[in-house]
A and B are shown apart, each in its own frame.
Chain A
Amino acid sequence: MNILRKIIDNVKPTFSKGGKLGFLHSTFEAFEAFLFVPDSVTTNGVHIRDALDLKRTMSVVIIALMPALLFGMWNTGYQYNLSIGGSMTFWQMFWFGFLKILPLIVVSYVVGLAIEFTSAQIRGHQVNEGYLVTGLLIPMIMPVDIPLWILALAVAFAVIIGKEVFGGTGMNIWNPALLARAFVFFAYPSQISGDKIWIAGLSEGHGIVDGFSGATPLANAMSGASLPSFSDMFFGFIPGCVGETSKIAILIGAVLLIATGIASWKIMLSTVAGALCTGLLLNAVAPPDPASYLNIPAWYHLVMGGFAFGAVFMATDPVTSAQTEKGKWIYGFLIGVIVIIIRAFNPGYPEGMMLSILLMNTFAPLIDHYVVQSNIKKRLKRAAVIVK
Chain B
Amino acid sequence: MNIPLKGKASNQITKNISSNIVAVKPSDFRNFSPKLLVKEGDAVLAGSPVLADKKNLSIRLCSPVSGTVKEIVRGEKRKLLAVLIENDHKNEHLQFTTLSKNAKKEEIIERLLEGGLWPTIKQRPYGIIPNPGVEPKSIFISGFDSSPLAPDLDFTLKRETEAIQAGIDVLNLLTKGGIHFSLNIDNFAGSPFHRIERVIFHTFEGPHPAGNVGIQINHVDPINKGDIVWTTDLYSLAAIGKLFTRGIYDVKRIIAITGPRCINPSYVECLPGMCMSDIKEYSDENSEVKNNNLPVRWISGNVLTGVNVGANGYTGFFHNQVTLISEGNYYEMLGWIKPFRSKKFSISRTYFSWLNCKKQYELDTNTNGDERAFVMTGVYEKVLPMDIYPTYLLKAILAEDIDNMEALGIYEVIEEDFALCEFVCPSKIKIQEIISKGIDLMLKEMA
Q: Which residues of A contact B (CB under 8 A)?
A: 1, 4-5, 33-57, 59-60, 126, 128-130, 167-171, 259-262, 264, 318-319, 321, 323-325, 328, 371-372, 375-376, 378-380, 382-383, 386
A325 to B379, CA, bound (A): 10
Query: Can you report 14 A-B residue pairs in the complex whose CB atoms are below 8 A from each other?
Result: A36-B332, A37-B369, A41-B328, A41-B366, A46-B423, A47-B323, A49-B423, A52-B348, A53-B336, A59-B336, A259-B349, A264-B377, A324-B377, A375-B389
Could you say which of B378, B391, B419, B426 contacts A57, with CB atoms under 8 Å apart? B426
Q: Contact: B226 with A40, CB < 8 Å? A: no
With A52-B350, A54-B375, A383-B225 given, can you name 10 additional A-B contacts, CB distance below 8 Å?
A49-B369, A50-B348, A51-B341, A56-B350, A56-B426, A126-B371, A169-B373, A260-B349, A324-B377, A325-B378
For residue A377, which residue of chain B has the nearest CB? B407
Q: Is B334 in the interface zone, CB < 8 Å from A? A: yes
Question: A130: which B residues are within 8 A, CB to CB?
Answer: 375
Question: A264: which B residues are within 8 A, CB to CB?
Answer: 377-378
Could you say which of B330, B337, B344, B428 contacts A39, with CB atoms under 8 Å apart? B330
Stretch in B12-20, B193-201, B312-320, B430-438 touching the partner: B430-438
Most A CB contacts (10 A, CB to CB) among B329, B366, B431 go to B366
Question: B226: which A residues are within 8 A, CB to CB?
Answer: 383
Shortest B330–chain A CB gap in Å is 6
Question: B408: which A residues are within 8 A, CB to CB?
Answer: 372, 375-376
Most A CB contacts (10 A, CB to CB) among B224, B348, B426, B433 go to B426
Stretch in B165-173, B270-278, B303-311 touching the partner: B303-311
Could you say which of A40, A325, A382 contacts B370, with CB atoms under 8 Å apart? A40
For residue B346, which residue of chain A has the nearest CB? A51
Q: Contact: A52 with B346, CB < 8 Å? A: yes
For residue A9, which residue of chain B has the nearest CB? B331
Q: Is B347 in the interface zone, CB < 8 Å from A? A: yes
Q: Contact: A46 with B348, CB < 8 Å? A: no
Q: Is B409 in the interface zone, CB < 8 Å from A? A: yes
Could you say which of A36, A43, A126, A386 contacts B334, with CB atoms under 8 Å apart? A36
Q: Contact: A49 with B348, CB < 8 Å? A: no
Question: A54: which B residues are within 8 A, CB to CB?
Answer: 369, 372, 375-376, 426-427
Q: Contact: A33 with B370, CB < 8 Å? A: yes
Could you say which of B222, B348, B373, B419 contacts A170, with CB atoms under 8 Å apart? B373
For residue B327, which residue of chain A has the nearest CB? A41
Question: B3: which A residues are within 8 A, CB to CB?
Answer: 48
Q: Contact: A1 with B333, CB < 8 Å? A: yes
Q: Contact: B377 with A318, CB < 8 Å? A: yes
Shortest B299–chain A CB gap in Å is 6
Size class of the B contact interface (CB-based, 8 Å): 35 or more
Q: Contact: A45 with B432, CB < 8 Å? A: yes
Q: Contact: B366 with A40, CB < 8 Å? A: yes
Question: B305: which A residues are within 8 A, CB to CB?
Answer: 46
Q: Contact: B333 with A36, CB < 8 Å? A: yes
Q: Which residues of B contact A (CB under 8 A)?
A: 3, 5, 222, 224-227, 297, 299, 303-308, 323, 325, 327-337, 341, 344-351, 353, 363-378, 381, 387-389, 391-392, 407-409, 415, 419, 422-428, 430-433
Question: B350: which A residues are within 8 A, CB to CB?
Answer: 52, 56-57, 60, 260-262
Shortest A32–chain B CB gap in Å is 9
A378 to B409, CA, bound (A): 11
Most B CB contacts (10 A, CB to CB) among A40, A48, A319, A325 go to A48
Question: B337: which A residues are within 8 A, CB to CB?
Answer: 55-56, 59
Q: Contact: A41 with B365, CB < 8 Å? A: yes
Q: Contact: A378 with B387, CB < 8 Å? A: yes
Q: If A47-B306, A48-B3, A319-B375 touch, does A38 touch B369 (CB 8 Å cutoff)?
A: yes
For residue A129, which residue of chain B has the nearest CB? B372
Could you say which of B308, B335, B391, B431 contacts A37, with CB atoms under 8 Å apart? B335
A208 to B344, CA, bound (A): 57
Question: A371: which B residues are within 8 A, CB to CB?
Answer: 389
Question: A319: which B residues are within 8 A, CB to CB?
Answer: 375
Q: Contact: A51 with B344, CB < 8 Å? A: yes
For residue A323, which residue of chain B has the nearest CB? B377
A34 to B297, CA, bound (A): 27
Question: B224: which A residues are within 8 A, CB to CB?
Answer: 379, 382-383, 386
Question: A41: which B residues are within 8 A, CB to CB?
Answer: 327-329, 364-367
Shortest A159–chain B CB gap in Å is 16
A52 to B344, CA, bound (A): 9
10 closest A-B pairs by CB: A53-B369, A170-B373, A51-B344, A383-B224, A37-B335, A55-B336, A36-B331, A45-B432, A37-B332, A41-B365
Question: A170: which B residues are within 8 A, CB to CB?
Answer: 372-375, 427
Question: A259: which B residues are within 8 A, CB to CB?
Answer: 349
Q: Contact: A48 with B335, CB < 8 Å? A: no
